[in-house]
Amino acid sequence: MKQHRIAVIGGDGIGPEVVDAALPVLDRAAARHGFGCAWEQLPYGADHYLKTGETLPDAGFRHLRDDVDAIFVGALGDPRVPENEHARDILLGLRFRLDLYINFRPVTLLHPSLTPLRSAGGTQGLSTADETPAIDFVIFRENTEGLYLGRTRTEGDAEVAEEVNTHRGVHRIIRAAFEWADAHGRTLVTMADKSNAIPAHRLWQREFHDVASAFPNIQAEHRYIDALAMELVRRPERFQVIVTNNLFGDILSDLGAALVGGLGIAASANLHPGRTGLFEPVHGSAPRHAGRRDANPVATVLTGALMFEQLGHAEAARDLERAVRHAIAAGIRTPDLGGRATTTEAAAAISAQL
């Protein structure tokens, strides 16, 4: 039986709780599809940092880069570490150092009751549980550049932060979005920037036109990020693939999550084809929920599905998504989705559907 070696960083707050609940669900899905996961638990996070002063040591980084098939992360962020330096080193550090330039964040309505939009489930023909959901798009967030590089300096009374946009970096994320659309039968790619106010974003316009011309069967459209935010709330069902920079993608992913049920269900994958990927829910450590046993494990389970897909087990991924839909439809939900289930009860309900 194929065994995948997977590093697990539960991290902080609700991170370890949702990971502990999700791993048995992933084990069961894997077993049903003829493979296994050897989970290797790593201690990195706020506790470890406060105890040892270590965020992600070099040897630990090399191990993650060279020795495992995937990295599975809960969440990083702790109020005792006010500048979040451990999360910066571990999460952003891995994204940058592994050059995981694609942050892939699907937004899919799993059940009509999950969207807060007024028209949903009603007149606009949004779906019932077993149909293809009417809100179904993917955000391709650039993950290695932009303001996130942290190039800052002090000039007089100003704190100056540089936003980095390179030809190579912008080109490759736009190309990844088109290639994915092409491979998955999608016909529309929307690129969002702020080139009307930020001259450096004209680079996004040029690269977008350049890449789009190689995909004549895919409609390419542009939106300014502010207008896109509005349109996503008004007509989310018209979008298929959205590609944008690091910061805008971060913001849009929480907005997208809110359109389909919230951060409790939003999954993400940090990818560079051919390299070890890093898989994490979109949500953070939600410190106020830590220890309350009410965190939603769905985002983590669906993140596991993205990981299985990358590891070559697409059927196991589909099975997990189907099981999540059925558990939600059956009403076994944590409080963020209007239910009363605990973290472990919600995970067990998914497992039972596999």
> Which residues here bind Mn ion, judged by CB under 5 A?
250
Residue 296 binds which entry of ligand NAD, Mn ion, ligand IPM, none, CB below 5-8 Å type-dependent: ligand NAD
Task: Considering the candidates 27, 47, 194, 210, report the single residue annotated as catalytic.
Answer: 194
CB of 255 to ligand IPM, least distance (A): 12
Closer CB to ligand IPM, 91 or 327, in the complex: 91
CB neighbour class for 254 (10 Å; exposed up to 12, middle 13-18, buried from 19): middle
Structural tokens at position 180: 């994915």
Q: Judged by CB under 6 A, does residue 142 bind ligand IPM?
A: no
Question: Total residues at the site for ligand IPM (CB under 6 A)?
Answer: 8
When binding is defined by CB under 6 A, the residue of 74, 146, 236, 284 that contacts ligand IPM is 284
CB of 3 to ligand IPM, least distance (A): 29
CB neighbour class for 157 (10 Å; exposed up to 12, middle 13-18, buried from 19): exposed
Q: Judged by CB under 6 A, does residue 75 bind ligand NAD?
A: yes
User: What gap in Å lies between CA 116 and CA 72, rounded to an integer?
Assistant: 30
Token look-up 């539960």 returns 10
Closer CB to ligand IPM, 85 or 315, in the complex: 85
In angstroms, the Cα distances linking 167 to 163, 203, 216, 276 are 13, 7, 22, 24
Structural tokens at position 333: 């939900």
Q: Judged by CB under 6 A, does residue 344 bind ligand NAD?
A: no
Nearest to 74 by CA among 289, 342, 294, 282: 282
When binding is defined by CB under 6 A, the residue of 111, 186, 283, 325 that contacts ligand NAD is 283
Whether 254 is a known active-site residue: answer yes
Nearby residues of 156 by Cβ (< 8 Å), 6 or more positions away: none
Residue 165 and residue 146 in contact, taking contact as beta carbons nearer than 8 Å: yes
When binding is defined by CB under 6 A, the residue of 7, 87, 228, 307 that contacts ligand IPM is 87
Q: Judged by CB under 6 A, does residue 336 bind ligand NAD?
A: yes
